[in-house]
Chain A
Amino acid sequence: MQNAQRWERVAASLDEADRLYSKPRSFASDVWFRFRHKPTALVGLIIIALLILFAVAGPYLTPYGYDDQNTKLANIPAVMSVYPAPDGQYIYITKALKLIEVDTSGHLVRQLKKGKDDSKNKVTVFPYKDDMTVTLDYTEQPVTIQDQNGNRIEKARTVWNRSYLLGTDHLGRDILSRLMYGTRISLLVAFIAALVNMIIGIFYGGISGYLGGRVDAVMMRIVDIIATIPLTLYVILIKVCLDDGMISIIIALSSVYWVDMARVVRGQVLSLKNQEFVMAARTIGSSTSTILTRHLIPNAMGPILVTVTMLIPSAIFMEAFMSFIGIGIAPPLASLGTMCNDATDALRTNPYQLFLPALVICFIMFAFNFVGDGLRDALDPKLKK
Chain B
Amino acid sequence: MAKYLIKRVAMMIITLFLIALLTFVLMHAVPGGPFTSDKQVSKAVLDALNEKYRLNDPLWKQFVDYLGGLVRLDLGPSFKYQGKTVNDFINNGLPYSARLGAVTLVFVLLASIPMGIVSALKNGKWQDMLVMAIATIGVTIPSFVIATALIYIFSFKLGWTPMYGVDSWKGYILPMIAMGGYSVSFLARLMRSSLLDVMGQDYIRTARAKGISETRVVVKHALRNAMIPVVTVLGPTVANLLTGSFVIEKIFAIPGMGGYFVNSVTQRDYTTILGMTVFYAAFLIAMVFIVDLFYCLIDPRIKFD
A residues near B, CB below 8 A? 225, 228-230, 232-233, 236-238, 240-241, 313, 317, 320-321, 324-327, 340, 344, 347-348, 351, 354-355, 358, 361-362, 365-366, 369, 385
Contact = CB atoms under 8 A, between A and B. Distances in A.
A385 B30 contact: no
Contacts of B277: 233, 237
A325 B247 CA distance: 7
B2 to A, nearest CB: 22
B70 interface: no
9 contacts: A225-B14, A229-B239, A230-B284, A241-B26, A241-B30, A325-B247, A340-B148, A362-B140, A365-B140
A228 B152 CA distance: 36
Contacts of B246: 232, 325
Contact of A229 (B136, B140, B156, B284): B284
Nearest to A351: B152
B142 interface: yes
Contacts of B196: 385
B142 A321 contact: yes
B266 A230 contact: no
Nearest to B140: A365
B266 A325 contact: yes
Q: Is the interface on chain B under 10, 10 to 19, 20 to 34, or 35 or more residues?
A: 35 or more
B145 A358 contact: yes
Contacts, number: 99
Contacts of A238: 26
A317 B265 contact: no
Given A241-B27, A362-B140, A230 B240 contact: yes
B15 A237 contact: no
A321 B240 CA distance: 13
A45 to B, nearest CB: 16
B230 to A, nearest CB: 16
Contact of B30 (A232, A240, A327, A344): A240
Given A233-B277, A344-B251, A385-B196, A326 B262 contact: yes
A361 B145 contact: yes
A321 B251 CA distance: 12
A327 B243 contact: no
B139 interface: yes
A358 B156 CA distance: 18
Contacts of A321: 142, 144, 247
Contacts of B265: 236, 240, 325-327
B29 interface: yes
B59 interface: no
Contacts of A320: 142, 144
B250 interface: yes
A362 B196 CA distance: 29
A237 B140 contact: no
Interface in B1-52: 14-15, 18-19, 23, 26-27, 29-30
